[in-house]
Amino acid sequence: MIKPEDRTILVVDDSPPTCWYLKRLLEKKGYGVMTAGDGAMGARMAMENLPDLILLDKEMPGMHGFDVSRILRRHQDTSGIPILMISSEDKTSEKIMGLEMGADDFITKGINGDELYSKIQAFLRIKDLQDKLRRESDKLNQIFRYLHEPVAICSHDDRLLISSQVFLSLLRMPREVAQFKSMTEILSTLGVEDRMIARLREGLREDVRLTITIDDQITHLTGRTAPIQLDNEEMAMAYIFRDVTRVVEAEQMKADFHSMIAHDLRSPMSVIQGYVSLMATGKTGEMNETQVEFLDSVNRKITEMTALLNDFLDISKIDAGFVNLKCDDMDLCELVREVVADLQPMADGSNIKLDLELPADVVSVHADPLRLTQIMRNLVSNAIKYNREEGWIRLSVARDEEWAQVSVSDGGIGMSAEELRVLFEPYTRGSTQRTIKGVGLGVVIIKKLVEAHGGRISVVSEPDQGSTFTFTVPLAAASSDPVNAPESTEESLV
């Protein structure tokens, strides 16, 4: 604790004898003492000298002690100075009024020296703790402001409380302007979609990719949020961003390079496949049965290589953040029927029964039809590949207020916990899948395409018990109003 000789106490009282008495009493204990004979002078001396504690007379001509206390509490530099109000009265109503005006305690003019010392020491200890907390808070604020990442803290009502200088510089926004903005206003101005803003406000532990426009310049960010608790137990939300524009530009170059390589490989394979098909049909000369069998095998391998190149090209573009979605409103149930019709011959080859559980009403979604078809085809074809002879597959569609949900269930070989752990990691395959060719990019592409639509995908599976993949896509705007749960109909395609 700071020694008394390093403390300054201001006595404000219109009675010279009282000022002299308190000054002499406190100086004996080593305190430095200043005196003021009226309220106006006391307020001015407090603001100029910033004493450690103030002994303030309640009854003074001119400026009342209550007025002095109220003024000092409103001033930033003096708001934390303990004020002990001196009164010749002991009325409860007077004490209550004094405390409401900002006084920390009441003492009577007849107080003895020991009691006065103990009160002064107690309030000085409290002030020391408050000063320490304030210094630590200021230090943290300074550190926070000069972090090298765009970071901001928002109150429970989305008001911007504090932000790093990098955050403000990135948004080209003066701190004086930012303090009057909500995060929703800031992100909306930058072109972030309302759905993404809502997800950020809910809390996101995983990074999401954001593309914003500032002064006609496109900037790529990753962002995540986390709820935190402030000192006053108020909940707040921390926004952590990272500028990945240069990374995205490098990924674009990488994706372009991969696209060029894939194109250069697919072109000669297309030529080879064309010649092989001509030879297999006998247009280049009569072929015996063995030669036709060999050519069919070559043709299948070329088809597999082409599919592999397409997957590789897709994952490269998606990883670079360049999923070019051409979204439109469409009937999800009709798309599901088309996908199932296309894959029905593949299921028939293994005697697998395909069942549909679709709502009676139209489920209109806002998505890219080609990419949504790709997602569905991949899930259904996987369910066929990893199934059993005479097995089953069930596709169901449901909806809530904002999202359509598609589930693909099967009674196939299923997956272990270890296989589920690495399922969405590229170039990894579970032990039960090794008998089926591929490099494990299909489900990775599915996940990234679903997330590109703003949806989510999940999987439930157990060995020998089959698997259920469930993903969501946004409903079309006209269909996103609350509706009653539609009745389901079952369609069996055998």
pLDDT tens-digit readout, 158-190:
988 888 888 888 888 888 888 788 999 988 888
SS3 120: helix
Spatial strand order in the sheet of 403-410: 457-462, 466-474, 403-410, 392-399, 353-359, 488-493
Q: Identify the pLDDT of residue 123.
A: 87
Lowest mean pLDDT across 326-340, 351-365, 442-456: 442-456
Inter-residue contact 367 to 452 (CB < 8 Å): no
Question: Residue 11 — very low, low, confident or very high, per pLDDT cuts 50/70/90?
Answer: very high
Which helix (H) or strand (E) segment holds residue 477: the answer is none
Euclidean distance between CA atoms 13 and 17, whole angstroms? 9
SS3 416: coil
**69-106: b (≥16 Cβ within 10 Å) or e:** bebbeeeeebeebbbbbbbeeeeeebbeebeebbbbeb
N-term to C-term CA, the chain: 86
Residue 478 has pLDDT above 70, yes or no: no
Inter-residue contact 162 to 181 (CB < 8 Å): no
Cβ partners under 8 Å of residue 51, min gap 6: 8, 9, 10, 34, 45, 81
pLDDT tens-digit readout, 393-415:
999 999 988 899 999 999 998 88
Q: Identify the pLDDT of residue 334.
A: 94
pLDDT tens-digit readout, 81-111:
888 888 776 666 666 776 777 778 888 777 7
The β-bridge partners of 8 are 32
Question: Residue 485 — very low, low, confident or very high, per pLDDT cuts 50/70/90?
Answer: very low
pLDDT tens-digit readout, 129-149:
887 777 766 666 665 655 677
pTM over 0.85: no
CA atoms within 13 A on the CB side of 421: 4
Which carries the bigger pLDDT value, residue 440 or residue 418? 418
Over 172-224, what HEC string results?
Answer: CCCHHHHCCCEHHHHHHHCCCCHHHHHHHHHCCCCCEEEEEEECCEEEEEEEE
**6-36: b (≥16 Cβ within 10 Å) or e:** ebebbbbbbbeebbeebbebbeebebbbbbb
The CA angle 103-107-110, to the nearest 5 degrees, is 155
The β-bridge partners of 236 are 155, 228
The CA angle 253-256-259, to the nearest 5 degrees, is 150
Residue 323 has pLDDT above 80, yes or no: no
Euclidean distance between CA atoms 372 and 251, whole angstroms? 24
Report the chain's mean pLDDT, rounded to a whole number.
82
Instruction: Give the residue carrying structure tokens 């303030």.
Output: 56
Inter-residue contact 471 to 406 (CB < 8 Å): yes
Which range of 86-90, 151-155, 231-235 scores highest in mean pLDDT? It is 151-155
pLDDT > 90 fraction of the chain, expressed in percent and rounded: 22
Euclidean distance between CA atoms 231 and 234, whole angstroms? 7
Q: In the chain, how long is the greatest CA-to-CA distance?
A: 129
Other CB atoms within a 10 A radius of the CB of residue 333 amount to 23
Q: Identify the pLDDT of residue 428.
A: 56
Lowest mean pLDDT across 226-240, 250-264, 269-283: 250-264
Give the mean pLDDT of 329-336.
94
Give the mean pLDDT of 15-37.
90
